[in-house]
Amino acid sequence: MTSTLELKRKSIQIRMDVLQLIHGAQTGHTGGSLSNSDILTVLYYSVMRHDPSRANWPGRDRFIASKGHSVESLWCILADLGYFPKEELKTYCQFGTRLIGHPNNKVPGIEMNTGALGHGLSISVGMAMGAKMNGEPYRVFCLMGDGEQAEGSIWEAAMAAAHYKLDNLIGIIDRNRLQISGGTEDVMGLEPLGSKWEAFGWQVTQVDGNDIPGLSDVLHAVPLQRGKPTLIIANTVKGKGVSFAENQPEWHHHVPNDVELRLALEQLSAELSVYSE
C-alpha cells in the first residue's frame, strides 16, 4: 500500500495537472476537480483493486463518477497510472477527442458514460447486484456530488441498494457545499444529509474529504456494516489547494487565466515541497 505521505504528494501533483489541463483547454470544472482530488487519489492509489495494464480485468473494483463533470482529476489520474498515454491529455476537450468533458467509456479505465446527474448510483446498484449474482468479490465505488443530491433518482437508487443489502456498494458524496448557483443549502437545502441516508438504510459516516489519512482509514474499512451499503460524506473544500479558488462558487467552472495558473502552481509547489522534505 502506498504511504499516506506519498498519497498526499500524489494528490497535490494531480491538482497541478488538473489546473494545467483546464488552462490548456480553456474549459473544465476546476472547483469540483480540486475538491475531489484527495478522494480519487486514495481510491486509485491505495484502496481500489485494479490493474491499468488490464483495464477490463473482471476482478477489478468498479468506480463510477456520478458527478461526471469533475472528470479532469480522473483523466489526470488515469493518465498517471498508465491507462492511456499522458501525451493524450493534450487532446482534452479538443475536436474529436475521447477525453471529453465527462467520463467516456471508450477510454480504458472508464466503466460507464456519465455526466447527466443522478444516474451513477442506479448504475452502481446494478453493478453491485451483478457482482452478488455472479458471486464475484469486486466492490463498486460511486462518487456523487452534493448538488446532485437534489436528483430524485439518487433516492430511488438509495432505497434499492438498502433493500437488496448491497454491502459491496460504497457511495461517496463530495460534500463541498457549493454548486453552480451558490451554496447547496441556499439552492436546495440538503441537511440533515447524513440522517437522510441513514433513514434510507445506509451505514453512514463523515470524514474530512481532503484529509488523506482519514480518507484512507475509512475507505479501507468498508463495508462499515455487513448487509448494508456504505455512504461516506466526504466534507471537502471546493477549489481545495488554491487559496483564491477555495469556497468560491464561480470557480465551479472558472478557467484559470495565465496569472491565476502561475499563482496556483506556485502555491501547490510550495505545499508539495513541504511534504517532500
Partner 1 sequence: MNQIPNRQVICETLLRLARLDPDIVVLTSDSRGSAAMAPFAQALPEQFVETGIAEQNLVGIAAGLAHSGKKPFVASPACFLSMRSIEQVKVDVAYSKMNVKLIGISGGVSYGPLGMSHHSLQDIAVVRAIPNMAVLLPADRHETKKMIEALVEFEGGAYVRIGRNPVQDVYSSDEYEFRIGKAIQLREGQDLTLIAAGETVRIALDACELLTRDGICCRVLNLHTIKPLDVDAIVAAAKETGRIITLEEHSVFGGLGAAVAEVTSRYCPVPVHILGIPDEPAIAGKTAEIFNYYGISPENVQQIAHRLMQKQEMYE
Among positions 154-213, residues that touch partner 1 (CB under 8 A) are 156-157, 159-160, 163
Size of the site for partner 1 (CB under 8 A): 31
Which of 32, 109, 118, 249 binds partner 1 (CB under 8 A)? It is: 118
Q: If residue 35 lies in a helix (H) or strand (E), which one and from where to where?
A: helix 30-35
Our CB check for partner 1 shows the closer of 127 and 265 to be 127
C-alpha span between 172 and 274 (Å, rounded) = 29
Residue 147, helix vs strand vs coil:
helix
Residue where the block lists cell 467552472:
253
Angle (deg, nearest 10), helices 4-25 and 258-276? 170
| Region for 10 from its dihedrals, namely left if φ exceeds 0, alpha if ψ lies in -120 to 50, beta otherwise | alpha
Under the criterion CB under 8 A, does residue 133 sit at the interface with partner 1? yes
Our CB check for partner 1 shows the closer of 68 and 147 to be 68
Mark 48-67 with x for binding to partner 1 (rule: CB under 8 A) and - for no binding: --------------x-----
Under the criterion CB under 8 A, does residue 128 sit at the interface with partner 1? yes
Which of 10, 50, 67, 119 binds partner 1 (CB under 8 A)? It is: 119
CB of 116 to partner 1, least distance (A): 5
Under the criterion CB under 8 A, does residue 130 sit at the interface with partner 1? yes
Which of 71, 79, 127, 268 binds partner 1 (CB under 8 A)? It is: 127
Under the criterion CB under 8 A, does residue 28 sit at the interface with partner 1? no
Closest CA to 7 of 37, 33, 45, 35: 45
Under the criterion CB under 8 A, does residue 16 sit at the interface with partner 1? no
Q: If residue 145 lies in a helix (H) or strand (E), which one and from where to where?
A: strand 140-145
The cell numbers describing 214, all together, are 482519514
CB of 163 to partner 1, least distance (A): 8
> How many residues make up the chain in this entry?
277
Q: Which residues face 142 on adjacent strands?
A: 64, 171
Are the C-beta atoms of 241 and 15 separated by less than 8 Å? yes
Name the site residues for partner 1 (rule: CB under 8 A): 62, 105, 111-116, 118-119, 121-131, 133-134, 136, 152-153, 156-157, 159-160, 163
